[in-house]
Structure 1
Amino acid sequence: MLLSLIGIIALLLHVIGMLAAMHAVMNTRTPQGAFAWVLGLALLPYFTLLPYLFLGRSRFHGYVDLHQARRRQLRSIIAKEHAATDPLLPALARYTAIASMADARFHQGQRLRLLIDGEATFDAIFAAIAEARQCVLMQFFIFHDDQLGRRMQQALLERAAAGVEVYVLYDGIGSHALPKHYVETLRAGGVAIHPFATQQRSNRFQLNFRNHRKIVVIDGWRGFVGGLNVGDEYLGLKPPLAPWRDTHMELQGPAVADLQRSFAEDWHWVTDALPPLLPTRTGDGGASTLIAATGPADAQESCSLLFVSLIHAAQQRLWLTTPYFVPDQAVMSALRLAVFRGVDVRILIPSRPDHYTVFLASGLYAHDAVCAGIRMFRYRPGFVHQKVLLVDHDTTSIGSMNLDSRSFRLNFEITALNVDEDFATEVEAMLEHDFAQTDELNEDSYRKASYLKRLAMHVARLFDPVL
């Protein structure tokens, strides 16, 4: 009797596994990801059905429909205040494909400020919040109820008490450890705060899509974007990853309208309402900036294509730093071609893991890159989390985008693409200081590793569609 029951359950699981495999074939974005899911679901449904419930979907229709309908409407609302009158400068022409893909444009006259590491970043953000008079928009992947998180909570409560409208979004998965009383305290103090969810009806089985964006907009004209979240580890206060190496930036000028627009799209999805869309101020700086917001609702894999386009634009230099080096085939091919063009390609990655599976996969991809002539460096002092790219003498990208499948296809991301020689010189000096504290990899770095470690690297790479 017991054996018969076990047999029936096993048969049922295999039938469900086959149905799930059919769903994976029809809905997984990449052939590699589809093949991995189909193999597991068809042969080992006992182990793969539950993970597929949480991680299997690579797209969703509700947000896609709203995203496409609202994007033009929001752009139209903001465009009434800011007509696109800037002529296209010759230096920007090589990025027209990015502008078209992202449905965005370069804004001229931006004043930019490079913020290196957590202390500089949050000092600038707290100072800007204290000066807010109308509205604060804030979005982070992670909020922690720790020293920095409580300081942020108090700053937002003070502005709300002063009559400033405060709107906060956090990712429900990234901030899974955030206690309810943290959110309830903010709401009781007049702060509008919500978790981002990819379905308007709660779906506890959906963990795949995460809003990884980090955005702060003050009074419609002062914005921040970059790699840091709200937690003590981002100040380098939590060993063993300390010191924490990260980069943010501040921008003032009309490009902040596009940071505001990105926040408004996400806020509307969650609440069916719009936050204030305040006019920006005319910029008095010398930079041109394009805000590129990407995500799984896009018709194309826009994050991956953005990296490919930037790599192809490089003629002399491409310096890149990322915590997770798990490139897809298109990005890896673009990097190889850049080497053949004679471009100085350097990539900075961590020497310490925060996610060990990703770290192992990154090690194997780093070996492949070294064999292709790409210079790879591991940062010694602590964990490097910054997402920075430097192209030639004038172009920088600072934002939330990692070089991995999750950012390419599953996460909502954002970056500021800046064309300005002076700002690029600052970023160059910052990265030169970082590269001076690294160990350069060579082919022996992989070959001298133990067999078991090399095997673990290859096994880890099998999971790169969901890393």
Structure 2
Amino acid sequence: MHFDWLSLGSLIFAAHVIGVIAAGHAILNTRTSQGAIAWAVSLVAVPYVTVIPYLFLGRSKFSGYVDKRRIESELLRTRAHPNAWDTHASSMGRPAEALGHAVVRALTGLSGMPFLPGNHVRTLVNGDATFAAILDAIEQARHYVLVQFFIVRDDALGDKLKTLLLKKAAQGVRICFLYDSIGSFDLPQRYVSALLEGGVEIHPFATNRRFVNRFQLNFRNHRKIVVVDGERAFVGGHNVGVEYLGANPRLSPWRDTHIEMRGPIVASVQFVFIEDWHWATQRLPRLEPSQAEQPESVEDVDMHCLVVAPGPADKEETGSLFFVEAINAAQTRIWITTPYLIPDEAVFSALRLAVMRGVDVRILIPSRRDHYVVFEASKLFAYDLIRAGVRIFRYRPGFLHQKVVLIDEVAAAIGSANLDNRSFRLNFEIMVLTIDHAFALEVEAMLERDFGEAWEVTRHEYRNASALRRIVMHVARLFSPIL
């Protein structure tokens, strides 16, 4: 058989033409210069292996989406948020005393929501405690339950949640259930159909409304939110799957943290859900006005809380700037736990400056991997941070998935955001920042136990690696703008 070299040459030429066109698109549309360079070089050099991934991952913003989502959010903030919100008042009082007026103004400006006093927050350490509390709260629901997760699996835990939601729906409780269409890609239709037939309003969160966005895999909704009757709210790192209970032997025991909130801050968490629900369904959830009002303050509690909910439609790089401002606010210590260590240049610089100020900067990361490329890239970032004076620790017992920030002796933030570009710019996330000495001590004790089960990384992790492994680390880091 005669091989058709002309046809092969034509295909190669066409691939490179498409690669050049895609590279031009990447330069015009990617939000960071590093990401634009990474995509452009790879699309021109090896279009055969990068054009298809670019269709799915490369477009960190696309026509119409950002503006439409932003307009919707601004309209909702004028129509649906509690009347008591006043971001200017947040720059006074205890938050300002703890963090400084300038920091509080910056954080409330980023969030668009105020610090609210009179809350109670408790940590839920690991999956058993988290889902016991969530399921118990849903069991006690009288009016409505709002549920949102990035990953929902049809396994033992998913079935338990489904059964309980169907039970409450049969009792007349209104259930709104939102799941991410990509994070829950393997959720079978029978699971969704059973909930719909039982009276549960369940919808996927998707960004591919238009055909041009059909292949979009960015802009995932990574938030984990449960709100019950406007009185109790839960956020954190857990998704709905038995692996979060430690059922995956390769990653077990799974280390994660959620929080339960009571008080006025519940209204802020609920509003974040309402924004996402409206985007997914083009409807507001039908909540009775009396039930949607801001909850009363918890008696004898002076905890101030702020919800920061970064998303790719924000006017600013909210996720990255939140971490930068939190690091800059630290005077004595900044402890961070994250499963993925892929900081951008702004966060990296803030960490280095904190070390120069004499701040105790520690970052706790996993010793086991769930994503190979991210894990290899994080080794190189860890090496660079260690050289800058940051102390890096690897959690030994199992996979570490919690997202916690501890600032000095008075502030702590817990939620869904990782220390990586996806959480900074590409995902919808939620973090709750608390100002309370007693709660900061509780978080400190929790993290000290975690650090006690970790080993400190030294420069030798990188220096003792083989030449091939070092090459793998450097190649992996080239993909950091999209990791």
TM-score when scaled to structure 1? 0.97
**Alignment identity in percent?**
55
Q: Secondary structure at the match of 2:108?
A: helix
Check the 8 A contact 2:410/2:435 in 1, yes or no: yes
SS in 1 for 2:179: strand
Structure 1 CA distance for aligned equivalents of residues 14 and 474 of structure 2: 33
> Greater CA deviation, 343-352 or 281-290?
281-290
**Structure 1 counterpart SS, 2:203:** strand
The reply to whether residue 363 of structure 1 matches residue 360 of structure 2 is no
**Residue 222 of structure 2 contacts residue 429 of structure 2 at CA under 8 Å; is this kept in 1?**
yes
Q: Which amino acid aligns with 2:253?
A: P
Distance 1:259 1:66 in 2: 22
One-letter identity of the residue aligned with 2:223? R
In structure 2, what residue type is equivalent to 1:241?
L
Residue in 2 that maps onto 1:128: 137
User: Which of these residues, 197, 218, 231, is aligned with residue 206 of structure 2?
Assistant: 197
Query: Is the Cα–Cα contact under 8 Å of residues 171 and 197 in structure 1 kept in the other structure?
Result: yes
Distance 1:32 1:62 in 2: 23
Aligned: 1:443 with 2:459:
yes
Task: Report the 3-state secondary structure (helix = DSSP H, G, I; strand = E; otherwise coil) of the residue aligned with 1:295.
Answer: coil
Mapped partners of 2:117, 2:343: distance in 1: 32
1:296 to 294, 312, 316: 312
Match of 2:352 in 1: 336
1:372-383 equivalences under 5 Å are 372-383=388-399
- Which residue identity lines up with residue 189 of structure 2 in the other structure? K
1:91 aligned partner? 98
1:283 counterpart = 2:297: yes
Note closer, same or farther for the CA distance 1:157–1:46 as it changes in structure 2 (3 Å cut): same
Name stretches of at least 5 consecutive residues in structure 2 with no aligned partner: none
Could you tell me which of 195, 217, 227 is aligned with 1:217? 227
Q: CA RMSD in A?
A: 1.5
With over 3 angstroms needed to count, the CA separation of the structure-2 counterparts of 1:61 and 1:287, relative to structure 1, is farther
**1:7-66 residue CA offsets vs partner (Å, 9 max, x unmatched):** 222222222221111111100111111111111222222221111111110013444233
Q: Assess, with a 3 A threshold, how the Cα gap between structure 1 residues 129 and 63 changes in structure 2: closer, same or farther.
A: farther
Deviation at 1:269, TM superposition (A): 1.1
Is the Cα contact below 8 Å between 1:287 and 1:420 reproduced in 2?
yes
Aligned match of 2:154: 145
Q: CA deviation at 1:239?
A: 0.8
Q: Secondary structure at the match of 2:429?
A: strand
1:455 corresponding residue in structure 2: 471
Residue by residue, what CA displacement relative to the aligned partner does 1:257-309 show, whole Å, maximum 9, x if unpaired?
Answer: 11111111111111110113511311113211110110111122110010000
1:411 corresponds to which of 427, 434, 440: 427
Asked whether 1:60 is paired with 2:46, we answer no
1:4 Cα deviation after fit: 2.4
Aligned-pair distance for 1:431?
Answer: 0.3
Aligned partners of 1:209 and 1:35: how far apart in 2? 20
Asked whether the 8 Å contact 1:63–1:199 carries over to 2, the reply is no
Match of 2:266 in 1: 256
Distance (whole Å) between structure 2 residues aligned to residue 231 and residue 39 of structure 1 = 38
Which residue of the partner structure matches residue 245 of structure 1?
Answer: 255
Pick from 158, 170, 183: which aligns with 2:167?
158
Cα distance in 2, alignment partners of residues 290 and 67 from structure 1:
22
Contact 1:200 1:270 in 2 (8 A): no
Counterpart secondary structure, 1:207: coil
Q: Secondary structure at the match of 2:248?
A: coil
User: Match for 2:307: what amino acid?
Assistant: I
- Contact 2:208–2:214 (8 Å) recurs in 1: no
From 37, 45, 48, give the equivalent of 1:46: 48
* Helix, strand or coil at the partner of 1:70: helix
Which of 354, 365, 371 is 1:349 aligned to? Answer: 365
The answer as to whether partners of 1:370 and 1:376 remain within 8 angstroms in 2 is yes
Is the 2:82–2:267 contact (alpha carbons within 8 Å) kept by the matching residues of 1? no
d(CA) in 1 for partners of 2:278, 2:57: 25
Provide the rounded CA distance (Å) in 2 between the counterparts of 1:281 and 1:451: 58
Quote the Cα distance in structure 2 between the aligned partners of 1:293 and 1:447: 38
Distance (Å, rounded) in 2 between the aligned partners of 1:47 and 1:317:
44
3-state SS of the aligned residue for 1:376?
strand
Letter in 2 for 1:163: G
Mapped pair 1:110 → 2:124: no
Deviates more, 1:226-235 or 1:4-13: 4-13
User: 1:412 is paired with a residue of what secondary structure?
Assistant: coil
Looking at structure 2, the residues matched to 115 and 457 of structure 1 have their Cα atoms a distance apart, in angstroms, of 35
Answer whether contact 1:346 1:377 (CA < 8 A) is retained: yes
| Letter of the structure 1 residue corresponding to residue 464 of structure 2 | K
Structure 1: stretches of 5+ with no match in the other structure: none
Q: Is the 8 A contact 1:82 1:254 kept in 2?
A: no
- 2: distance between equivalents of 1:420 and 1:435? 22
1:13 to 12, 15, 23: 15
8 A contact 1:63–1:269 mirrored in 2: no
Output the CA distance in 1 between the equivalents of 2:214 and 2:66.
20
Q: Note the C-alpha offset of 1:160.
A: 0.7
Q: Give the C-alpha shift of residue 145 in structure 1.
A: 0.7
Q: Cα distance 1:62–1:218, how it changes in 2: closer, same or farther (>3 A)?
A: farther
The answer to whether 1:227 aligns with 2:234 is no
